[in-house]
Amino acid sequence: MKKLLMVFVLIIFLDSCYNTKYDKLYPLPHATTTTCDTSGTLSYVNDIEPIIASNCFSPGNGCHDAAGSSVSGYNYQTSITSLQSNALNGSLLTDINFIPTRGHNSMPLNGARLSACDIDKITRWANEGAPNN
């Protein structure tokens, strides 16, 4: 009986030394994350136009460039006016958030959804009156 008690105590003692904190012993490498800062002043030229340029009138994806405007009806490459109009009437935000509405497509057309950061920037710009700054 005494031996059985000693074995039991030894098992309890050894078991208490085992560390079940695997993630503490072998942490995963830190993922690289990019931060999205929309707290400062947003500028059309510095913040919004690059997003529009790379997604709306980039080569091969040019629905809203000079060549594609004959189909889409909007040329964002040379004129901010139509982009401002669509931002102010809500259709731009509906399109980039992939909310289907009659007569509108999810944008970028046949492309991946914009990043959450880009959508946040465009949304804030539109909510601030879509200034040409």
- Encode pLDDT of 80-123 as tens digits: 787 888 889 888 888 888 887 776 677 777 778 889 999 999 99
Residue 112 included in any domain: yes
Number of domains in the chain: 1
- Going from the C-alpha of 65 to that of each of 46, 52, 83, 113, 122, the distances in angstroms are 19, 10, 12, 19, 19
Residue 60 included in any domain: yes
Residue 5 included in any domain: no
Residue 8 included in any domain: no
Q: Give the three-state DSSP class for 81.
A: helix
Residue 132 included in any domain: no
pLDDT of amino acid 58: 57
CA separation for the pair 58, 38 (Å, rounded):
24
Q: Is the peptide bond before 108 cis (omega within 30 degrees of 0)?
A: yes
pLDDT of amino acid 31: 53
Confidence of residue 40 (pLDDT cuts 50, 70, 90): confident
Residue 59 included in any domain: yes
Q: Is the pLDDT of residue 56 over 80?
A: no
Residue 4 included in any domain: no
Domain that holds residue 84: 44-127
CA separation for the pair 7, 12 (Å, rounded):
9
Burial 93-112 (b: 16+ CB within 10 A, else e): bbbbeeeeeeeeebbbeeee
Residue 81 included in any domain: yes
